[in-house]
Structure 1
Amino acid sequence: MPASTAQDAPPGHDIATALAAVRARIAAAAHRAGRDPADITLVAVSKFHPRESVVAALRAGQATFGENRVQEAAEKFPPLRAQWPGLRLNIIGGLQTNKALEAVRIADMIESLDRPALCDAIARAADRVGRMPQLLVQVNTGDETQKSGVAVEEADAFITAAMTRFGDAVTGLMCIPPVDQDPMPHFRTLAAMAARHGLGVISMGMSADFELAIAAGATHVRVGSAIFGPRPAHRA
């Protein structure tokens, strides 16, 4: 596919160039960790960025995108699938139960399964829509009251229950470490928890720390600003 052009990207920021730089950093981090860069999926976090920026990334070869808000994702991504059938959409933000139906309808992966009520809503939605996206359990490794995710002390039981209920649809775990702490212990906690449950997907690491996450075993890294530039002012 052709490279992105200047008019596709926000002024002063070339998305294709930024993507190439992030991919190079992922490859270097993987090699330092003795890993194959091909085993690491880059999730381009496009929340609050316009559809034109997503198109620029698609033209530069990016396939997997992350969105926090279901409504925003529903407006951006379904119209793009006809032209880019390899596009994959991950819902990465805390998911309200009343948004579960639309999330199940449009997402390839939901990274924020974290409570029984959401399990119920997703199960009902999957029955209604006739499809089930991949599911990641979000673990609140810092036990932060303001953050989504199942508490660490409850995580093993919740993961087991989710795997029993949803089977192979539960493919892994996700975490967002506290911003004011060293992320490495949190990454190691999540990787160890995934290993205990035999789960292969470990989604952790963002623009500021994805190289550390790769060293700790991340299979998916969620990178936004390093690809798309500063987030536009959010309009409610």
Structure 2
Amino acid sequence: MTVPALQETRDRIAHAAKIARRKPAEVSLVAISKTHPAERIRSLLDAGHRLFGENRVQEAQEKWPALRDAFPDAQLHLVGQLQSNKADDAVAMFDAIHSLDRPGLVTALAKAMDKAGRRVPCFVQVNIGAEEQKGGCPIADTPALLAAARDAGIDIAGLMCVPPFDVEAAPYFALLAKIAADNGVSGLSMGMSGDFETAIMLGATHVRVGSALFGARG
């Protein structure tokens, strides 16, 4: 990773925000560091970036304790699917979770947060393209899952989606924004390296960018 890649991504975010008549500060850049070694992550940390995303609890446990010792203000988000039996570990490791997608996980996370005495904000992941192979709550079940999470004392940070691959993402981002508005949710975790500018124009508050920052996966 080179510092220019980080600056270029920030510039692209700022440009998209300007077109959408938004402030760049309204968009959080989550640097997706999954599969990349600690030394590549450290180059972004050295450049001043502090918000990162990992896909797997175990991988984060292997890489991040030492990085956090060196950079205690770093923030780490879980962006991948979470098994209920990993809820305790996720609550201990992450500052936000983007993949709350089913009632069983609500129960597991609420229990883990109560045990840890720590509240971790969660995005409800919506299966926006109704794809069987993808995680995420069905659109029709999203209001009930949001209600269950709130009833369990989980702080709802927003909604998250991964649109179908290789099709125009804009309609899916617009749909997620509508679902969020209909349910009184403000955060929108949507947009990756290939489409984050579109996501920003449609209201994204968190964009999850990996390859544009790190290059190909390690």
Say whether the fold is shared (TM-score over 0.5): yes
Structure 2 equivalent of residue 135 of structure 1:
122
Structure 2 equivalent of residue 231 of structure 1:
217
- Write the letter of the residue equivalent to 2:51: T
Q: Distance in 1 between matches of 2:15 and 2:143?
A: 33
Verify the 8 A CA contact 2:107 2:152 in the aligned structure 1.
no
Identity of aligned residues (%): 50
Report the Cα offset of residue 220 of structure 1. Answer: 0.3
Residue of structure 2 aligned with 1:158, choices 121, 127, 145: 145
Structure 2 equivalent of residue 30 of structure 1:
17
Q: Distance in 2 between matches of 1:206 and 1:166?
A: 29
- Write the letter of the residue equivalent to 1:64: L
Report the Cα offset of residue 199 of structure 1. Answer: 1.8
- Write the letter of the residue equivalent to 1:230: A
Structure 1 equivalent of residue 161 of structure 2:
175
Report the Cα offset of residue 17 of structure 1. Answer: 1.1
1:125-178 Cα shifts (integer Å, max 9, x gaps) = 1122221211110000001111010011111221122222225x1121100000
Unaligned runs of 5+ in 2: none
Are 1:148 and 2:146 matched, yes or no? Answer: no
Structure 1 equivalent of residue 34 of structure 2:
47
> Within 5 Å, which residues of 2 pair with 1:74-223?
74-167=61-154, 169-223=155-209
Once structures 1 and 2 are overlaid, which stretch shifts more, 223-232 or 116-125?
116-125
Q: Distance in 2 between matches of 1:59 and 1:121?
A: 36
Report the Cα offset of residue 191 of structure 1. Answer: 0.9
SS at match of 1:199: coil
- Write the letter of the residue equivalent to 1:191: A
- Write the letter of the residue equivalent to 1:28: H
- Write the letter of the residue equivalent to 2:207: V
Cα RMSD, aligned residues only: 1.1
Give me the TM-score of the superposition, normalised by structure 2. 0.97
SS at match of 1:90: strand
Once structures 1 and 2 are overlaid, which stretch shifts more, 223-232 or 179-188?
179-188
Point out 4+ residue stretches in structure 1 off by more than 4 angstroms: none
SS at match of 2:118: coil
- Write the letter of the residue equivalent to 1:193: I
Report the Cα offset of residue 213 of structure 1. Answer: 0.1
SS at match of 2:165: coil
- Write the letter of the residue equivalent to 2:58: Q
Give me the TM-score of the superposition, normalised by structure 1. 0.89
Once structures 1 and 2 are overlaid, which stretch shifts more, 155-164 or 97-106?
155-164
Q: Distance in 1 between matches of 2:159 and 2:28?
A: 14
